[in-house]
Amino acid sequence: MMSPGKSGSCGACSVSHPRCIRILLCDDQALVRHTLATWLGAAPGFEVVAETDSADDAIAEAQRLKPDVALLDIDMPGRLSFEAARMIRTISPQTKVIFLSGFCHDNYVEQALSVQASGYLLKGDRPDEIMEAIRKVAGGSVFFSPAVQSRIVIDPGGAAAPPERHSRLKLLSRREIEVLGYMGRGLAKKQIADAMHLSTNTIGRHVTSIMNKLDIHDRVELARFAIREGLVQP
């Protein structure tokens, strides 16, 4: 479901902000989405150009509107938000991605960094912190919540996970981690194939590879592993 933002809703832009920061909001929780839109719409320098409740709709709106910033929830039904972020950056390279989540799992943070997200915020952050993050990211910088900053390294070259961090997920490729995330949600191979726009045979090969690398040969145990590793919420 898509709800277009009101163009030109930031009346102060013509005075103190010559150009509004155009924002795409994506969160499957209507209350969170509408609250954010209200906050941002009332603040000078921001324009919410669209609201969506799914990653697929966010991709479509990013392609259509080319926003400055896409603010994406992480844990939503359907396509994984990390894959959506990667696609948004491909179809609209000027769009900066900020993830918004209620969780600060290492693997969420690492996946956000792997798709070159410019920020990672927590839903408990204050509205002024969220606005500051959007301004900084739109200006070409990065912004991470304090709880996230403690888990990463930020230098002039950008943000990255500490090199000493080890996880069994390191054994898997990016695609395999995405497949495992869908498995953690209980999706069958055909459903995963549809979500990732791959063939069922390709997904089957990924599943076999995942099982061999992790030495877990039961789909239920793989799903439990995905949940423990923070790839999906239980």
Domain of 174: which CATH number? Answer: 1.10.10.10
- What is the model's pLDDT at position 24? 97
- What is the model's pLDDT at position 69? 98
In a domain, 113, yes or no: yes
Is 176 found in the same domain as 91? no
Residue 72: domain span: 2-160
Of residues 36, 9, 38, 39, the one with CA closest to residue 25: 36
Is 128 found in the same domain as 27? yes
Is 149 found in the same domain as 63? yes
For residues 114 and 160, what is the distance between their CA atoms, to the nearest angstrom? 8
- What is the model's pLDDT at position 150? 62
For residues 104 and 139, what is the distance between their CA atoms, to the nearest angstrom? 25
Residue 49 in contact with residue 67, Cβ under 8 Å? Answer: yes
pTM of model > 0.75? no
DSSP secondary structure of 70-104: EEEESS-SSS-HHHHHHHHHHH-TT-EEEEEES--
- What is the model's pLDDT at position 28? 93
- What is the model's pLDDT at position 152? 53
Is 151 found in the same domain as 174? no
Q: In the structure encoding, which two tokens stand for residue 147, read together?
A: 């709880």
- What is the model's pLDDT at position 2? 53
Residue 116 in contact with residue 89, Cβ under 8 Å? Answer: yes
Given a cut of 70, the residues of the chain with pLDDT beneath it are 1-18, 150-167, 233-234
For residues 102 and 33, what is the distance between their CA atoms, to the nearest angstrom? 13
- What is the model's pLDDT at position 18? 57
- What is the model's pLDDT at position 118? 93
In a domain, 234, yes or no: no
Is 31 found in the same domain as 111? yes
Residue 181 in contact with residue 80, Cβ under 8 Å? Answer: yes
- What is the model's pLDDT at position 8? 42
- What is the model's pLDDT at position 201? 94
Is 109 found in the same domain as 7? yes
For residues 99 and 119, what is the distance between their CA atoms, to the nearest angstrom? 6
Sorted by sequence, the CB contacts under 8 Å of residue 123 that are 6+ apart come out as 32, 100, 101, 102
For residues 20 and 179, what is the distance between their CA atoms, to the nearest angstrom? 38
